[in-house]
Structure 1
């Protein structure tokens, strides 16, 4: 072991780096089982209707096929529970559809049969031979046409409600300067590097599931309800997950039907979804249409801010995109109106996708702020900082941190913003028009209940166990760093085990909250261990610390305890190993939470009360400033992002290396949303027309410039260890920064994403 001193904040290499780069890390479709079988889905090709006939004879005749499961022969599953904030796992269901327990079809792509075979090729070949006929029913599949039939969005944990202060419409009408525009964003789909996959095996009523999930605890509880077995008899394993971004936060058809097929065949079943099957059975981001109207005086101070939006939800599930969530807090307008509405479509329900609400809402808000800056002839950075509020404009709550002007000042200096000529089409590089744009990033991370166990052995090693998720962000590394510093031991003394429901329950990896949520539990467990170790030391007659109170002692690097004593007095230090040996103990262990169901429920209720009270007290947000340069070919309209600077205030950073990677990743995803990503649906049939990476345009390496990211690294005093969360903030504002830069380059204002060639020519 090497005593390297404090490690939180340092650019530590990932503890799982070798396993991943050498191929040792196993993902959900890679766990071997004897007699493993393979499953493939059959998808409906109508948007709404009833199945009249299913002909599976040809499929069943394929060599190696074991079963074709349809609504005619599938075992009954219980329906998904109603959502309750007293049990967050009730949010797990991707849809309310009881797959293969109904002859009803609710969207084009809904699974209507599962084929199980000895080989993957046989399963897919047979699935193509299943013939299904339908009684088609009238369906609503055109988002544009459905916008006349909307209703207010439901509120919830993500804050999809309304906000109002003063009469914003009246203030807008009398404002000396104003902008009032409509912005649209398209549907988008998840394309994690690892497609959704499940391996399921029943042993009587006990179930083992290897699942590509961001929410082990939710999957376990959801499967217990749907298959009517005790949760204690279900083991869910997701040691490594190849990307999530929200798409793996719910339980979708692939997981449920793999478990169902394993029960029918009494064999282990693996279902690895194709890219097309992911598009057709896993929700993505909903399309939105938004109105943003800003009124201001000639001094640039906002007198009115209106942000309203309509987003699509499925008739069988989905949540509103709270497009105005950042607009409630970001700028000091004297009057504000925020409204969210939804319209129901016969489509696959939408779901969480990196920074729900803010990612698309910021495109509209930050584009409108740029438009207002042009109208006022005020620099867009100056306009934003001039309107930074002292408290939240809509409810008067305090900000836990307030650094918008600072991140903009730092970013402007790093980017060289002072050299910008504000006139559109004024900057060139040969035949390419250059444009510079800015936008604000704003995201409110969440904190969820988390449990851990920490075991300190007499040899000075530490084992941390929790069923949290490693979805590629370096979560295990961060928790090892936090543990090492909390106990005063070297980093290489800490081992972290994760990704298994046999470990203490952890929150879903979502809402930019996993690191802070786990940190709170880790610090609590480590504090209990230190207190017990110090108490043992103080009571041992042969200890140099004998007779001192725990309050007099402190842990230092290398697992060494020393005494806080008056000046001039000397006390020798003592290690954990010394203390445990003297006490005749081989380890100390502490666990947070409870295995008792009643106590766990009480703990969750207590958490929800604290969560809601915290939300009433503070606006706790990670923020940032994006600076973007684009080059637009004057002849072809081709847009290239050529330079990027992002400065963020994300509270305390645990790992400088993985944090920078996370921030860059959000920017890359935002560039994709700005310039390429769009799920194309046939408005007549509701069918996704580009369900794969060949037609759904994601940014590749050549599309991404060097991304210069930095952060303030100042702890938030209201968060565990000062950690806010960085998973989502850096995508927010990216699309607006690109579109604003495109306007500066070309003079063309694009209000509809993505910014494609046809919108510039």
Structure 2
């Protein structure tokens, strides 16, 4: 065999789906046409806890074009969600524990209590507004800050630990020569993906086809099969393009279930597209947090105590704790560490994952405290971090599989011009602007799950890769095309990747920065098997050293195929065993992507207006498959981090539990005018324990970003703001 094609991994090739997306040819969930398509709209509860006592649908039913109104009084039967288990990760798919429209109970303001189905989306929305609902209320808990003392200790799991203890951190803190003890808060955040959640559902007998904006196809399929009492093989979930997910589309929320229910009730395909407000009211967001970070050090800046505790929120109808203290397990060496996480249960929509769940808000608190400690020591913030950079994992002494944070800081300081910073707060000015520079460490664990893949090499030299992974805009299909092309030594344009369909071989959810490495691991194995098969053919036909096309044609073989994993029930169980075995093997190392975030801000001296004027991020993310898409991912994470720091905040009425700013008109996210040119780069050193040396980079970009902004604001103004977002009133209050 010959394989002389130049490598494409590491090259900034264009996206394979770029033309489809930029010309409008790409079909997102709501774009799929179906004959006789009906439209659905939700009716939302207006209380935070209680029960429906009456529901009047007469006016809605009489509205022109309405087909039916479904409530708990006439809804088809639905099974409750399964109890979550790490032995079957699909059981974690449900966004809530509610069995929708099966009883009269209400668990949060915004919970769907009815769904209207009509001939047009206009008729469905107008009729939904005509449904009259009366309630009996029960005392509820919706004020997070007032419920702090009701929080209970999170138990955690083998996959997501919630606490840790080493030495006596409290005693060491009390004895420290220099210490800080800070209380920091972050507000709730809501998802605002470019594509709102949407679903098209169609039944054919007991077979269900669902188009959904999903980042977890296999979980969705299993969950829908359970809820509607049909075999998993009878459910197909299709999502070739997803307009952003960030965790909000990793769970099954009410809209998906109710669209499928409406389709079953009417016997017609049904489309349900959530309004932006509907997303806020029926899709979970990030929990608020109250955090304490206390650090003790000697006069030279060596940490002697590290305490990081948190209080977060879950819903009475579901949600899980957020791993807020994760980064504090790994970032800094200290002989005494205490980590605790607590959660309070409230009558609000259950929280869910949001980009770098836990680490994004946890690094804000930890890195702000490190900056404050550096200030009290009179030490450069980078020097303090490097003085406490561990050689091994601080808690248990495990080896790092890969860690080049020192190198990231050194390169970042050079690119950013950190040497131009004067250390004293309020010491740098540019006319009416106070100038500040801040840094923070980025950290996100690296995950590796199992994936099923098939690769077919045809006699014409083309390659078909089939895997049901999800494409949410990060360039997954492009990366896997590059990996396959290099592994087989064929041109990039000879490779075609099929994805985004649960009928394809099963892939893990797109989350935790794990999809690229997980699929690549199986793809490389498949390509290796394929080359062995072709080599055997070549040996038999006497064509060793010839091209793939020549070998297959002379052997009279139209194609050869390699299969990794199995879609049978036994194969699924085997896949779970593969995952658990791999997880246990990988625990001997601590694997993570890290980085150094550098931020410059300008603060108007009279108004307190904050502008981010420069940014440099340097990351240790292992091998980068495609620099063009990688840079986009890292910049996107940083932009979200800037939004966390300066703008984003979900406002919840502490009396009623209603979200008061459920739209982009009132929930502020960064726009182009808010963001400077963002300089991002990476070290490019592969992790030897990961497929192709990949560490994952989709989530690490947001970590540390909010802290870098807050630290820069402190340097500019001398004002330490510990409560996000950093708004005008807080700068000069």
TM-score (norm 2): 0.99
- Alpha-carbon shift at residue 449 of structure 1 (Å): 1.6
- 1:710 matched residue in structure 2: 681
In structure 2, distance between residues paired with 1:417 and 1:4: 42
Q: For the Cα contact (< 8 Å) 2:51–2:135, is it kept in 1?
A: yes
Residue by residue over 1:240-280, the C-alpha shift from the partner in whole angstroms, topping out at 9 and shown as x without a partner, is: 00000000000000000000000001000000000000000
- 2:117 matched residue in structure 1: 116
Q: Which blocks of at least 5 consecutive residues in structure 1 are unaligned? A: 546-572
In structure 1, distance between residues paired with 2:353 and 2:4: 42
In structure 1, distance between residues paired with 2:342 and 2:697: 28
Q: 1:622 aligns with which of 581, 586, 593?
A: 593
Q: For the Cα contact (< 8 Å) 1:85–1:608, is it kept in 2?
A: no
- 2:665 matched residue in structure 1: 694
Aligned-partner SS, 2:425 = coil
In structure 2, distance between residues paired with 1:538 and 1:375: 72
- 2:376 matched residue in structure 1: 375
- 1:34 matched residue in structure 2: 35
Q: For the Cα contact (< 8 Å) 1:158–1:322, is it kept in 2?
A: no
- Alpha-carbon shift at residue 3 of structure 1 (Å): 7.2
- 1:562 matched residue in structure 2: none
- 2:610 matched residue in structure 1: 639
Q: For the Cα contact (< 8 Å) 1:142–1:686, is it kept in 2?
A: yes
CA 74–157 in structure 1, closer or farther in 2 if over 3 Å, else same: farther
Where has structure 1 moved over 2 Å in runs of 4 or more? none
Q: How does 1:329-478 map to 2 (within 5 A)?
A: 329-478=330-479
- 2:582 matched residue in structure 1: 610
In structure 1, distance between residues paired with 2:467 and 2:72: 38
In structure 2, distance between residues paired with 1:760 and 1:600: 54
In structure 1, distance between residues paired with 2:285 and 2:278: 13
- 2:553 matched residue in structure 1: 581
- 2:570 matched residue in structure 1: 598
- 2:57 matched residue in structure 1: 56
CA 686–158 in structure 1, closer or farther in 2 if over 3 Å, else same: farther
In structure 1, distance between residues paired with 2:220 and 2:435: 49
In structure 1, distance between residues paired with 2:413 and 2:226: 53
- 1:327 matched residue in structure 2: 328
Aligned-partner SS, 2:409 = helix
In structure 2, distance between residues paired with 1:710 and 1:100: 50
Q: For the Cα contact (< 8 Å) 1:466–1:497, is it kept in 2?
A: yes
Q: For the Cα contact (< 8 Å) 2:198–2:255, is it kept in 1?
A: yes
Q: For the Cα contact (< 8 Å) 1:529–1:589, is it kept in 2?
A: yes
Residue by residue over 1:113-171, the C-alpha shift from the partner in whole angstroms, topping out at 9 and shown as x without a partner, is: 00000000100000000000000000000001111111111313652421110000000
- Alpha-carbon shift at residue 42 of structure 1 (Å): 0.4
Residue by residue over 1:492-551, the C-alpha shift from the partner in whole angstroms, topping out at 9 and shown as x without a partner, is: 1001111011111111000000000000010011011000101111222x42x3xxxxxx
Q: For the Cα contact (< 8 Å) 1:92–1:251, is it kept in 2?
A: yes
2:185 corresponds to 1:179? no
Residue by residue over 1:171-203, the C-alpha shift from the partner in whole angstroms, topping out at 9 and shown as x without a partner, is: 000000000010000000000000000000001
- 1:750 matched residue in structure 2: 721
Residue by residue over 1:100-120, the C-alpha shift from the partner in whole angstroms, topping out at 9 and shown as x without a partner, is: 011000000000000000000
Q: Which blocks of at least 5 consecutive residues in structure 2 are unaligned? A: none
Q: For the Cα contact (< 8 Å) 1:43–1:111, is it kept in 2?
A: yes
Aligned-partner SS, 2:414 = helix
- 2:516 matched residue in structure 1: 515
- Alpha-carbon shift at residue 319 of structure 1 (Å): 1.2
2:712 corresponds to 1:741? yes
- Alpha-carbon shift at residue 599 of structure 1 (Å): 2.5
Q: For the Cα contact (< 8 Å) 1:154–1:320, is it kept in 2?
A: no
In structure 1, distance between residues paired with 2:247 and 2:613: 29
Q: How does 1:178-217 map to 2 (within 5 A)?
A: 178-217=179-218
- Alpha-carbon shift at residue 85 of structure 1 (Å): 1.2
In structure 2, distance between residues paired with 1:631 and 1:523: 48
In structure 1, distance between residues paired with 2:233 and 2:518: 24
TM-score (norm 1): 0.95
In structure 2, distance between residues paired with 1:625 and 1:231: 45
Aligned positions, number: 730
RMSD, aligned α-carbons: 1.0
In structure 1, distance between residues paired with 2:57 and 2:525: 57
- 2:271 matched residue in structure 1: 270
In structure 1, distance between residues paired with 2:12 and 2:581: 36
Q: 2:635 aligns with which of 644, 664, 687?
A: 664
Residue by residue over 1:725-757, the C-alpha shift from the partner in whole angstroms, topping out at 9 and shown as x without a partner, is: 000001000000000000000000000000000
CA 272–415 in structure 1, closer or farther in 2 if over 3 Å, else same: same
In structure 2, distance between residues paired with 1:650 and 1:595: 32
